[in-house]
Amino acid sequence: MNRSVLVIEDQQDIAKLIKLHIQDLSCEVHLAHDGISGLSKAEAKAYDLIILDLMLPGIDGLEICRRLRAKSNYVPILIVTAKAAELDRVLGLELGADDYLTKPFSILELVARAKALFRRMDALTANTAGPSANPIRAADLVIDPAKREVVLGNKPVSLTAKEFDLLLHFARNSGKVYSRMQLLDMVWGYGHDGYEHNVNCHINRLRAKIEKNHAKPKFILTVRGVGYKFAEVANMEAA
């Protein structure tokens, strides 16, 4: 399958290295070396993946991510950055990035992350047809896989692409308990130690958006010492 990938990276040697290896995945790779041209290319074409540096001339990577998500552009975004501060990592994910790597990174690790994002998008595409695309209702929460929309009490809920994917996975498997590592593998496409805080951050943001009482959630429940689960949909509807 031929895919198109946009690499927005101001360091040309790194951009060329990424292009060389991503091309081996049967991908057409486009390059941009500043934020302005990168955003322009991202908005002009439907890419299968954007590999995005944070520190760019013109417009930084976080602003590019913010603008794309504001226009409901849900292309997978893999952030690469020399900024190791935890705040920058979390902020990038809050703006809708799907994954991140800090420089210096292993090119093989980047390729593995790209493959994982491709697999996840293929799975999501396969699940937007037939019975799996039917809306899921849990009490006053409605999740529409086909439209990628969430409504709570007749009011739309704004979610990032990853927040939606996580909520949808939970709702489709209500009552089943998942560890953080399992969620990383199933929703993010990888299960590496040290990235469990990605799950925690997304769970906290989801609860803030869909739970009336964040301290006593009724949808996404914590199973102490194990992980998380989505409350049984049938029980919630009957209540």
pLDDT in tens, 81-100: 887 665 455 555 667 788 88
Residue 82 to residues 52, 169, 189: CA-CA distances in angstroms? 12, 32, 23
Reduce the DSSP state of residue 239 to 3 states and report it.
coil
Regions of the chain short of the pLDDT cut 50: 87, 238-239
The reported pLDDT for the residue numbered 150 is 95
Rounded Cα gap, residues 4 and 53, in angstroms: 18
**Structure-block tokens of residue 74:** 């849900």
Measured N-to-C along each axis, helices 107-126 and 12-23 cross at an angle, to the nearest 10 degrees, of 50
Q: Can you list the domains of the chain with their CATH numbers? A: 3-126 (3.40.50.2300), 130-238 (1.10.10.10)
Report CA Rg, the chain.
18
- How far apart, in whole angstroms, are the C-alpha atoms of residue 92 and residue 58? 18
pLDDT in tens, 49-87: 999 998 999 999 989 998 998 887 888 999 898 876 654
- pTM check: above 0.85: no
3-state helix, strand, coil in the chain (%, to 5): 45, 20, 35
Sequence-ordered list of residues with C-beta below 8 angstroms from that of 227, at least 6 positions apart, any chain: 177, 178, 179, 180, 182, 183
